[in-house]
Amino acid sequence: MFKYLSEKKNFIFGKENIYAIFLVIFIYSLDRFSKIKILNSFSEKTYILNNYINIDLIWNTGIGFGLFSFESSLIYNLISFIIAVVIIILFYIAFISKKKDKLIFSIILGGALGNFYDRLFYYAVPDFIDLHYLNFHWFTFNIADIFITLGIIAFVVKDFFVKI
């Protein structure tokens, strides 16, 4: 029995999992820092950084890219609960995954935790990066969204296009 518990402890606190936890914390911290900086220094105007990027604060009550934005607090709470369950499942999958998958799930988790924090404490996610070309504007997003998207793209590419 003690050997089993020792193996479980080594599994959870193994070097690969510690690196994954640090990656999640780093991405979460980078996202929090960027949002705090924007929220503390943002005024009502749009900041034009160059011809393609603006800083424009938008409060997103939906999920990625403003999908499923509703005024109903019941739907908002239901979506938040589903996101919490998905995050817990991702933590479990990240812990039991191999190195490359662990990296991919850690990237997604770091971003997901950043946005989930905002859902809990602000009841919306602050999005502020506005990419555009002439009059075409992409969805406004934040640092967490970048990491979630990169993680999902890496997952899809690894599973569907790269056979290792």
Summarised one tens digit per residue, pLDDT across range 87-113 is 999 999 988 888 889 999 999 999 999
* Tens-digit pLDDT profile for residues 47-78: 788 889 888 898 888 766 555 566 677 888 88
**Within a domain: 23:** yes
Site of tokens 């239901």: 78
Count of structural domains within the chain: 1
Helix, strand or coil, per DSSP, at residue 56? strand
**Two tokens, residue 88:** 């817990």
Q: Which residues are catalytic?
A: 127, 145
* Amino acid of residue 72: S
Query: Quick one: pLDDT at residue 4?
Result: 45
How far out from the chain centre does Cα 50 lie?
Answer: 26
Query: Range of 48's domain?
Result: 13-157
Q: In whole angstroms, give the CA distance from residue 89 to residue 134.
A: 41
**Within a domain: 4:** no
Q: For a pLDDT cut of 90, what percent of the chain falls above it? A: 47
**Within a domain: 87:** yes
pTM: 0.83
Query: Quick one: pLDDT at residue 68?
Result: 56
